[in-house]
Amino acid sequence: MALSGLGGALRGDGLAAFGALSDAQRQQLADLVDSGKISGETVNDALTQRLKQARVSAMGATQRMYNNDHAALFLDETTSSDDLRGALSQTLARRSSLMDKLTAAMSEDERASASNDLAARTVNPLLAKDRTGMSRHIMPGFFSMDFSDSRLNSTKKQGDATYSLKALGVDLDAIDQALRKTGEEDAAAILSERAGLPTSRKVAADQDYSSDDALVKPLTVPSGGSSSDALLTYGEKLRSFLQASSAETRKAGTLAGHTVYQIDRPNHLTPPSLPAPSPTSAADAQAQEAHMKYITGLAVRY
């Protein structure tokens, strides 16, 4: 298949995503570029965004499966970091096996079964168990969304490109399905990297990424906390504040059969002064709502 104007524009994640598409999907994109309806650069940006979204969706599903399969770890105060890493290794192995089943499935029922298992939307009741009174709050850190990671966070330019592709009638759901396996493998590699597990796959950073154009801006240091000492002080104060608050939790009553607790904020511990939020105008509220709809529209139906 001749790529003509599209071939020279594909690079990085865009090229990887293009390689995962079917021949018919590739031809459709090449024809759109040749017709002048869209540029090769825009197609590259759109494919880059869809692959990043596939990784994010796979990581979210992996976290749900991890939590469901290993809920007991969160209730055991002897759980160690090695236990959490071992559980992640088991979850990644299970997902890899399910993805192989999905790829090899011969019937629609087999595909639906493997797909539902991968989505992991059935919640383990243990996750709702009251953990009040535990001296440790056990939570693995490798699932945290890092908005400074260009492998996961898209830019506005890439998001706009996706909407441009959609406006031309390109089936984004079909593209997402084609990218599902790559997204799973990339997500597993990123999680393994974070947890210090062995992995033979390396997911490269997006060389075209600009934090100034990021769809979701990374958190910034509070005012007056630019130095490492200030950050450490802020972290220590915040940790002390949370610990003290937890220690002063008391039962406040019941609601719909569930115990309601009230946290009394200690007067002697206050977080560093932060700028007071400015009143939200109607225009600001509309802009925020539009931005959320924009981001939601880019989500993958996993």
> Would you list the DSSP string of 178-204?
HHHHHHHHHHHHHHHHHHT---S----
CA of 160: how far to CAs of 4, 27, 55, 121, 294, in Å? 23, 22, 19, 30, 9
**Whole-prediction pTM value?**
0.78
pLDDT of residue 237 exceeding 50: no
pLDDT of residue 173 exceeding 90: yes
Residue range 244-264: mean pLDDT, rounded:
42
If asked whether residues 144 and 30 sit together in one domain, one would say yes
Cα separation, 71 vs 128, whole angstroms? 10
If asked whether residues 33 and 177 sit together in one domain, one would say yes
Where does the chain show beta strands of DSSP type E?
A: 249-255, 258-263
- For 122, the token pair is 């059935």
Q: Is residue 2 part of a domain?
A: no
If asked whether residues 60 and 104 sit together in one domain, one would say yes
The tally of CA atoms less than 13 A away on the side-chain side of residue 97 is 7
If asked whether residues 51 and 129 sit together in one domain, one would say yes
Q: Domain range holding 139?
A: 12-219
If asked whether residues 107 and 244 sit together in one domain, one would say no
Q: Is residue 282 part of a domain?
A: no
If asked whether residues 214 and 248 sit together in one domain, one would say no
Last residue of a domain, one of 177, 197, 219: 219
Report the candidate in 206, 216, 218, 212 with the shortest Cα–Cα distance to residue 47.
Answer: 206
If asked whether residues 106 and 16 sit together in one domain, one would say yes
If asked whether residues 104 and 136 sit together in one domain, one would say yes
Q: Is residue 114 part of a domain?
A: yes
CB 47 within 8 A of CB 172: no
Q: Is residue 28 part of a domain?
A: yes
**Backbone phi, psi, residue 160, to 5°:** -60, -40
Return the sign of the alpha-carbon dihedral for residues 21, 22, 24, 30: positive
Mean pLDDT of the chain: 84
If asked whether residues 30 and 175 sit together in one domain, one would say yes
Q: Is residue 283 part of a domain?
A: no
Q: Is residue 264 part of a domain?
A: yes
Residue range 263-274: mean pLDDT, rounded:
43
CB 61 within 8 A of CB 82: no
pLDDT of residue 252 exceeding 80: no
* Total structural domains within the chain: 2
CB 29 within 8 A of CB 157: no
The tally of CA atoms less than 13 A away on the side-chain side of residue 256 is 0
Q: Is residue 287 part of a domain?
A: no
If asked whether residues 57 and 87 sit together in one domain, one would say yes
pLDDT tens figures, 70-114? 999 999 999 999 999 999 999 999 999 999 999 999 899 999 999
**Backbone phi, psi, residue 167, to 5°:** -65, -25
CB 95 within 8 A of CB 192: no
If asked whether residues 241 and 192 sit together in one domain, one would say no
Q: Is residue 301 part of a domain?
A: no
Last residue of a domain, one of 170, 188, 219: 219
If asked whether residues 146 and 250 sit together in one domain, one would say no
